[in-house]
Chains A and B, each alone.
Chain A
């Protein structure tokens, strides 16, 4: 049997508890292999303690999220950056 995982899409809800934006529309760069992809395309293993998201190219851990009764613990060391779509900046008022 192959490993059981689901899409990064499912991180959208848990991460909204921490961030104000929808990270499933964001992209990330993997710190291990340098590949860049939509957050939603990560592989999420949800039966570890907490949630573990791995890079589909090199299978290294990009993100871990553990929710305790009083806090959220987010480890993002496997990501170089997150790029988040934001509304266009308003033109400067002259």
Chain B
């Protein structure tokens, strides 16, 4: 069916020790809305196929699509994409798909983004699209990581926090906080949401993405703090990786 496209790897960028960004060139790519994902299909020589979903981490940009993949150590697809899949190799992708977990630059409401680990991927597409379209919509990003070595897009986020007016970024460390960070390592909870998010009266759109456990906890916190569940959109990536 026409929704499957053949994509070729043109570049690979390392994000952390366990994750990298794959830059794919896709013929006839119809474009995407920030927050959408694709399904990646691998076919073995014997015909066996495996399919997994990956969010698009790049802003819409011609025929290029970027996916940011975290290695699940005993996984079937992610170690292949990170270790074996090489520049020039083809892969099949279906999409873009998903019309719900998306941010459209024409929407005026302030935005709260909450990411855990690789859950930053679709939220990064939103942050990048905000800049690319010159949107002045205020954004707050709360990013939960184990340590500061686990931050994806670390350099870019540092620059954007300084240069993109109206974008505020804060981090929550679950294992080890860097020197000078106020507070102890902890899992993100209602306090973080209250202090670093928007007050419910601002009626922000909230996008929460990451491992299922984090998404549940954050979505519950948002509602507990007073946000309307209708404005809380979630994308669960699967089991919590520990």
Which residues of A are at the interface with B, using a C-beta cutoff of 8 A?
2, 4-7, 9-10, 12-14, 16-17, 22, 24-25, 38-41
| A residues in contact with B101, CB < 8 Å | 7, 9, 24, 40
| A residues in contact with B98, CB < 8 Å | 9, 12, 22, 24, 40
Bound CA–CA A48/B35 (angstroms)? 26
Which of B146-154, B158-166, B183-191, B234-242 faces chain A? Answer: B234-242
B94 at the interface (CB under 8 A from A): yes
Bound CA–CA A22/B38 (angstroms)? 13
Interchain CB contact (< 8 A) of A6 among B94, B99, B237: B237
Bound CA–CA A40/B237 (angstroms)? 13
Q: Which 3 A-B pairs have the closest CB atoms?
A: A25-B99, A12-B97, A40-B100
Interchain CB contact under 8 A, B100 and A9? yes
| A residues in contact with B237, CB < 8 Å | 6
For residue B63, give the distance in angstroms from its CB to the closest CB of chain A: 20
Max chain B CB contacts within 10 Å: which of A5, A12, A17? A12
B95 at the interface (CB under 8 A from A): yes
- Please, which residue of chain B has its CB at the minimum distance from the CB of A14? B39
B212 at the interface (CB under 8 A from A): yes
Interchain CB contact under 8 A, B97 and A16? yes
B87 at the interface (CB under 8 A from A): no
Interchain CB contact under 8 A, B100 and A6? no
Interchain CB contact under 8 A, B239 and A4? yes
| A residues in contact with B95, CB < 8 Å | 13
| B residues in contact with A12, CB < 8 Å | 37, 97-99
Contact flag A24-B212 (CB < 8 Å), given A4-B238, A7-B235, A13-B53: no
B3 at the interface (CB under 8 A from A): yes
- Please, which residue of chain B has its CB at the minimum distance from the CB of A6? B236
| B residues in contact with A16, CB < 8 Å | 1, 3, 94, 97
